[in-house]
């Protein structure tokens, strides 16, 4: 190992990729064989003077301000490769700076943009789809977008693989600049008031390319603006590759405007479909069918509160299937929420999913876009199992 105390010559015109020009003669440390818990070392000073001595194999390395040193293996430390010394910090960002998120994989692109603040100093608006075309203008899920941005903005390189890869090597890593396995682009809001053009040197984008799997369970990656290839956790790749940015609010209504509630289900209780219907009189709920049902208004309000801004756990691709058990005759609970001047919102809570942790669901509320979805089972299980859940 060679150590220069006089550093390197500074030449602003030099090629930034070229090796630095070192000044003077270094101090050289030559590490020899181990003996027990020690290692032989020869030090050669810049003057040529040689000194042999023994070092412990493990020494305590104390950083500035630390009360104690960290045990460090001497041979492992000096044998580190040049790539091991590269700074693992990636150029980061705050989720609050972001105005756009674009994910491109397999020729498919999903892009969402953040609405501008309504007035100076007020928070920015929600997220809406810009791509693909069928989703353009629809709401995106702010929780999902925020989670992805926080995850990406906090990433550090796990391990550097290649400092100066050529195009052939990039292709081998799955990082061909013309078409990586996946590209994630984050657009940043320029500094200054909304609507004003950004300064010429404004930092406006972060671009991450994700490549193939590595043998150790990571993925190759690169951040544009930095030539080196490094690895990132496979879980990060999966989060973006499988991201569903659709707004997961599948039912949305104002509980105060509800005037009636009709439910059909509980086939397993009596071996036929049972119907319950409640209507609101003043501020109280009363049973309409059967008329002698002893309804508990607080439980009706609790149920409506669960429904009013219902969020899906996940969307289920494809059409409805019999195994989802959505119709009442198959064990599902059919719910119709009636409101003044409104045709009503229909919701079916079906059979179990995710090993019983969820129920399948479907609704005619446009917020769900006609998709089948899953919802947390615990919030609906008592109401779905028996009509008595609504009784006093």
**Residue 178: what pLDDT?**
93
Residue appearing with tokens 């209507």: 279
* 8-state DSSP, 238: H
**Residue 198: what pLDDT?**
58
Give the pLDDT band of residue 377 (cuts 50, 70, 90). very high
Q: Is the pLDDT of residue 120 over 90?
A: no
User: Nearest CA to 364 among 342, 390, 392?
Assistant: 342
Q: Is the pLDDT of residue 124 over 70?
A: no
Quick: pLDDT tens for 150-160.
999 999 999 99
Residue appearing with tokens 């693909």: 132
User: Nearest CA to 157 among 227, 87, 216, 204?
Assistant: 87
| Exposure on the CB side of residue 272, measured as CA atoms within 13 A | 2
Would you tell me how many other CB atoms lie within 10 Å of the CB of residue 17?
8
Quick: pLDDT tens for 5-41.
777 777 777 776 677 777 888 899 999 998 888 999 9
**Residue 20: what pLDDT?**
73
Given a contact cutoff of 8 angstroms between Cβ atoms, the answer to whether 337 and 250 are in contact is: no
| Helices and strands (DSSP H and E) totals, the chain | 7, 22
For the chain, give the mean pLDDT.
90
Give the Cα separation of 4 and 8 in Å (integer). 8
Residue appearing with tokens 């690895």: 231
Q: Is the pLDDT of residue 109 over 50?
A: yes
**Token pair for residue 134?**
């069928």
Q: Is the pLDDT of residue 382 over 70?
A: yes
Quick: pLDDT tens for 234-292.
999 999 999 999 999 999 999 999 999 999 999 999 899 999 999 999 989 999 999 99
Question: Quick check: helix, strand or coil at residue 333?
Answer: strand
> What is the maximum span of the chain, computed from C-alpha positions, in angstroms?
105
Q: Which of 18-22, 138-142, 183-187, 311-315 has the lowest mean pLDDT?
A: 18-22
The dihedral through the CA atoms of 94, 96, 98, 100 has a sign that is: positive
Question: Quick check: helix, strand or coil at residue 173?
Answer: coil
Q: Residue 46, by phi and psi: left (phi above 0), alpha (psi -120 to 50) or beta? A: alpha
Give the Cα separation of 375 and 363 in Å (integer). 12
Predicted model pTM: 0.74
* 8-state DSSP, 321: -
CA distances to 248, 253, 265, 380, 385 from 333, in Å: 21, 19, 5, 10, 9
What does the buried/exposed string (b/e) look like for 304-330 if buried means 16 or more CB atoms within 10 Å of the residue's CB? beebbebbbbeebeeebeeebbbbbee
Phi, psi of 264 (to 5 degrees): -130, 130
**Token pair for residue 36?**
């027990």
Quick: pLDDT tens for 328-343.
999 999 999 999 888 8
Helix axis angle, 142-153 to 234-241, nearest 10°: 150
Give the Cα separation of 7 and 26 in Å (integer). 10
Report the residue count for the chain.
392
Would you tell me how many other CB atoms lie within 10 Å of the CB of residue 344?
17
Domains of the chain by range and CATH?
2-79 (no CATH), 95-241 (no CATH), 255-390 (2.60.40)
Give the Cα separation of 126 and 116 in Å (integer). 9
**Residue 214: what pLDDT?**
97
Quick: pLDDT tens for 60-99.
887 777 778 888 888 888 877 888 888 899 999 999 999 9
**Token pair for residue 362?**
């479907």
């Amino acid at each position: 190992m060679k150590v220069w105390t006089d550093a390197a010559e500074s030449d602003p015109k030099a090629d930034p990729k070229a090796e630095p020009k070192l000044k003077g003669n270094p101090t050289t440390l030559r590490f020899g064989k181990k003996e027990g818990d020690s290692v032989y070392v020869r030090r050669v000073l810049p003057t040529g003077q040689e000194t042999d001595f023994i070092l412990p194999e493990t020494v305590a390395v104390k950083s500035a301000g630390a009360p104690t040193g960290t045990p460090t293996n001497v041979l492992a430390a000096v044998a580190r490769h040049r790539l091991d010394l590269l700074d693992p910090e990636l150029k980061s960002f705050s989720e609050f700076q972001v105005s756009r998120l674009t994910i491109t994989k397999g020729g498919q692109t999903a892009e969402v943009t953040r609405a501008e603040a309504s007035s100076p100093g007020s928070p920015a608006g929600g997220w809406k789809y810009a791509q693909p075309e069928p989703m353009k203008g629809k709401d995106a899920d702010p929780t999902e977008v925020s989670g992805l941005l926080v995850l990406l903005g906090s990433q550090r390189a796990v391990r550097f693989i290649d400092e100066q890869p050529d195009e052939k090597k990039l292709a081998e890593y799955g990082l061909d600049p013309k078409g990586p396995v996946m590209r994630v682009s984050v657009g940043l809001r320029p500094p200054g008031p909304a609507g004003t053009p950004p300064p010429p040197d404004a930092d406006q984008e972060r671009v991450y390319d994700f490549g193939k799997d590595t043998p150790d369970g990571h993925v190759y990656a690169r951040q544009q603006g930095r030539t080196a290839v490094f690895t990132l956790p496979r879980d990060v790749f999966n989060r973006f590759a499988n991201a569903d940015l659709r707004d997961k609010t599948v039912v949305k209504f104002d509980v105060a405007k509800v005037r009636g509630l009709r439910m059909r289900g509980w086939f397993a209780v009596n071996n036929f479909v049972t119907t319950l219907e409640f209507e609101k009189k003043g501020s109280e709920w009363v049973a309409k069918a059967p008329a002698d049902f002893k309804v508990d208004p607080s439980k009706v309000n609790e149920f409506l509160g669960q429904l009013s801004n219902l969020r899906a756990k996940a969307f289920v691709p494809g059409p409805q299937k019999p195994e989802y058990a959505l119709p009442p005759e198959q064990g599902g609970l059919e719910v119709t929420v009636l409101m003044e001047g409104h045709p009503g919102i229909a919701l079916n809570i079906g059979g179990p999913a995710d090993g019983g942790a969820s129920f399948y669901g479907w609704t005619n509320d446009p917020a769900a876009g006609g998709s089948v979805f899953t919802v947390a089972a615990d919030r609906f299980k008592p109401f779905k199992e028996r009509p008595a859940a609504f009784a006093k």
